[in-house]
């Protein structure tokens, strides 16, 4: 069953193919979404300090554990070091663990390869007087990674990884690491296949986790003609095709929902896409590449070139 697939990380641990996303899951909704997801079989939960909901995510996890039907060690919990914590990595981890009410994380990611001023006018989103983000350009993401490597000795994180890393950023990082990131979490869907990063990471032994696989809130992907065609052929929803595509590619995938029926369907309806389904979607990706028609839904206003070819 596609829903039970797990992928091996370079640490030897396994990551469940499908995770519940929690970005923009509102207070009052997200604890219920998390406990419901676990009760219907999800074993992988993704959050981040900057989502402001780790506390409720932790509440949802505790509710699920309290049923006695699932143990902490069966869950895979990921959170992310926020940009304003690059110069205080241990503090960032401890803050997240405290919020979540957990003793350890299965995966701790550097959210973006960019530091923001830790002493700015806001703990999470410091800004300059002109309204732009208060970036600390003197602090390298490689320095942050070296601090993250040290966390492995504390036993408080089972694995460390990165997020939003392009090929040029990985090329800068990898020759300087002692620990190769276990994961690179990137925006990924047929309208932004990022094949060059997927291929690079495969060679480097870095697992890809796809975010915004449904095209995030208000997505146009559900009506993209080739996705609809494959969905009709296989008798499932476009959402199912969009999620199953990553698993066929060897990536794990995060689907955010606070709607119980969608949380269930996003897991139970997953299918194995066959060669012909994959070829139809590949053709769509090729066509977008040829017309420079890729769509990136998540590109926060950092004002920095992250090395993604569609955003140079
Ligand atoms: N590392 C990073 O920088 C980033 C990480 N992420 C992670 O990835 C997760 C997923 O990405 P996200 O951007 O949230 O967006 P998704 O692509 O998961 O889309 C979420 C949207 O799709 C809706 N939806 C979910 N399931 C279905 C369905 N079966 N049919 C129709 N609509 C559906 C949800 O609505 P509803 O909830 O109302 O059901 C919500 O509006 C995030 O939540 C976060 O955990 C995301 C962005 C950046
Ligand atoms: O994880 C999701 C996204 O990366 C999100 O954390 C950022 O887009 C953030 O809201 C920002 O504005 O920088």
pLDDT by residue (tens digit) across 240-263?
A: 999 999 999 999 999 999 999 999
For residues 208 and 243, give the distance between their C-alpha atoms in angstroms, rounded to a whole number.
Answer: 14
- Average pLDDT (234-238) is 97
The answer on pLDDT for 230 being more than 80 is yes
What stretches of the chain show up as alpha helix (H) in DSSP? Answer: 30-39, 54-66, 89-100, 141-151, 167-173, 195-204, 225-234, 238-249, 260-268, 275-290
- Phi, psi (rounded to 5 degrees) for 275: -60, -40
51 is a catalytic site residue: yes
Nearest protein Cα to ligand 2, atom 11: 300
| Cβ 164 under 6 angstroms from ligand 1 | yes
In the chain, where the domains are located? 2-218+251-257
Nearest bound ligand to the CA of residue 212? 1
Q: Which atom of ligand 1 is nearest to the CA of 214?
A: 17
Distances (CA, A) of 266 to 36, 79, 209, 261, 272: 13, 21, 16, 9, 14
Whether 23 lines ligand 2, by a CB cut-off of 6 Å, is yes
Say which DSSP state 157 is in. B
Cα–Cα distance between 251 and 89 in angstroms, integer?
A: 27
Indicate if the alpha-carbon torsion angle 12, 144, 57, 37 is positive or negative. Answer: negative
Which ligand 2 atom minimizes the distance to the CA of 80?
1
pLDDT at 312: 78
Q: Provide the whole-model pTM.
A: 0.98
For range 209-229, the mean pLDDT: 92
**151, 160 contact by CB (below 8 A):** yes
Q: pLDDT of 10-50, one tens digit each?
A: 999 999 999 999 999 988 999 999 999 999 999 999 999 99
- Nearest ligand 2 atom to the CA of 298 is 8
Residue 263: the pLDDT is 98
How many Cβ atoms from other residues are within 10 Å of residue 281's Cβ?
A: 23
pLDDT above 80 for 1: no
Class of the domain covering 2-218+251-257: alpha beta
CB 42 within 8 A of CB 68: no
Asked whether residue 232 carries a pLDDT value surpassing 90, the answer given is yes
* 229 Cβ neighbours under 8 A, 6+ residues apart: 280
Half-sphere exposure of 11 (CA within 13 A, CB side): 16
With the most atoms of ligand 1 within 8 angstroms of its CB, the residue from 189, 211, 246, 301 to mutate is 211
| Residue with the two structure tokens 């990553």 | 246
Give residue 92's pLDDT.
98
The 10s digit of each residue's pLDDT in 116-139 is 999 999 999 999 999 999 999 999
pLDDT tens for each residue of 36-93: 999 999 999 999 999 999 999 999 999 999 999 999 999 999 999 999 999 999 999 9
CA atoms of 101 and 97, how far apart (whole Å): 6
Q: Is 139 annotated as a binding residue?
A: no
| Opening angle at CA 207, ends 204 and 210, nearest 5 | 130
């Amino acid at each position: 069953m596609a829903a039970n697939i797990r992928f091996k990380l370079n640490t030897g641990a396994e990551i469940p193919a499908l995770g519940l996303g929690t970005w923009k899951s509102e207070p009052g909704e997200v604890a219920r979404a998390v406990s419901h997801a676990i009760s219907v079989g999800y074993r992988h939960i993704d959050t981040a300090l900057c989502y402001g909901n780790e506390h409720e995510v932790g509440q949802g996890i505790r509710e699920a554990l309290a049923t006695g039907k699932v143990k902490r060690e069966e869950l895979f919990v990921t959170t992310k070091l926020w940009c304003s914590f690059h110069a205080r990595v241990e503090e960032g981890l401890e803050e997240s663990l405290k919020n979540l009410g957990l003793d350890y994380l299965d995966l701790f990611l550097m959210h973006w390869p960019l530091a923001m001023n830790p002493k700015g006018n806001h703990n999470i989103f410091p800004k300059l007087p002109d309204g732009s983000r208060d970036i600390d350009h003197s602090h390298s993401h490689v320095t942050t990674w070296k601090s993250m490597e040290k966390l492995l000795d504390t036993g408080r994180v089972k694995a460390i990884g990165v997020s939003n890393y392009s090929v040029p950023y990985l090329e800068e990082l990898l020759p300087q690491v002692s620990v190769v990131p276990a994961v690179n979490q990137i925006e990924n869907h047929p309208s932004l296949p990022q094949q060059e990063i997927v291929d690079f990471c495969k060679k480097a032994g870095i697992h890809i986790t796809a975010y915004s696989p449904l095209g995030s809130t208000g997505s146009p992907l559900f009506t993209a003609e080739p996705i609809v065609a494959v969905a009709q052929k296989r008798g499932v929803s476009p959402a199912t095709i969009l999620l199953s595509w990553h698993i066929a590619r060897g990536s794990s995938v995060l689907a955010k929902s606070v709607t119980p029926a969608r949380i269930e369907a996003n897991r139970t309806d997953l299918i194995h896409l066959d060669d012909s389904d994959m070829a139809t979607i590949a053709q769509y990706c090729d066509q977008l590449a040829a017309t420079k028609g890729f769509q990136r839904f998540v590109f926060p206003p950092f004002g920095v070139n992250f090395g993604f070819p569609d955003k140079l």
